Amino acid sequence: MLQRAEILGVRDFYRDYFAVAVLIGAALLMVGAMLGAGRLIRPVRPQAEKYVTYEAGSDPVAGWGQSNARYYIYALLFLIFDVEAVFIFPWAVGLEGLGTFGVVEMTVFIVLLALGLVYAWRKGVLRWA
């Protein structure tokens, strides 16, 4: 740990973050250039319909729209298995070295996660009604 601290002094720390600043600058410049070019090239013919918010082809409802709370639950369930995947990828790479131990550990992990799905299923969350 200590050697790393010496290599990565504070000046290097700032130098690393200079790269981040350059990246942000480049991103801003690129977006600006693309939008600016569009503005210069495109013809301008305003029509009322063009200013209506696009909502999947149908006319938008005035005022506050309510999004269905069910989407939220599906997003949550998706998240569980998204996280699972994040852990399974590196595990799969090292599986040969880990052997039986690795299989058992991952089984425990997946079973614990699956409990969440079983819970959601038993509570009737998965039914779209």
Partner 1 sequence: MNPTIDYHALAPEIVLTVTVAVCLLVDLVARRSELVPRLASLGVLGAIVPVITLSVDGANRTMFGGTYEVDNYALVFKGLFLIVAYLTILVSFHYIGEGDYYRGEFYVLLLTSVLGMTVMASARDLVTIFVALETITIPTFALAAWRKHDTKSNEAGLKYFLIGVISTAVMLYGMSVVYGVSGANKLVGIREYLVDTNEPALFAVGVFLTLVGFAFKVSAVPFHFWAPDTYEGAPTPVTAFLSVASKAGGFVALITIVNIAFFPSKGSWQPVIFVLAAASMTLGNLAALRQTNIVRMLAYSSVAQGGFMLVPLAVAADVSSNSAWEGVVVYLLIYAGMNLGAFAAVIAVARRTGSAEISSYAGLGRTDPALAVMMTIFLFSLAGIPFLAGWFAKLVMFRAAFDSGTTGAVILGVVAAINAVIAFFYYAGVGRQMWFREPDPAVERTAVPTPLTLNAAMLIVTVGVLALGVYPQAIARLGELAFTPG
> Which parts of this chain interact with partner 1 (CB under 8 A)?
1-2, 4-8, 10, 13, 97-99, 101, 112, 115, 118-119, 122-123
Q: What is the DSSP string of 62-119?
A: SS-----HHHHHHHHHHHHHHHHHHHHHHHHHTHHHHHHHHHHHHHHHHHHHHHHHHH
d(CA 88, CA 96): 13
Shortest Cβ distance from residue 39 to partner 1 (Å)?
37
Shortest Cβ distance from residue 120 to partner 1 (Å)?
10
Token pair belonging to 61: 């409802």
Q: Which is nearer to partner 1, 7 or 48 (CB)?
A: 7
Which residue bears the tokens 């690795």? 102
Q: Which is nearer to partner 1, 55 or 82 (CB)?
A: 82
Shortest Cβ distance from residue 80 to partner 1 (Å)?
14
Shortest Cβ distance from residue 9 to partner 1 (Å)?
9
Q: Which is nearer to partner 1, 11 or 50 (CB)?
A: 11
**HSE of 40 in the Cβ direction (CA atoms, 13 Å)?**
6
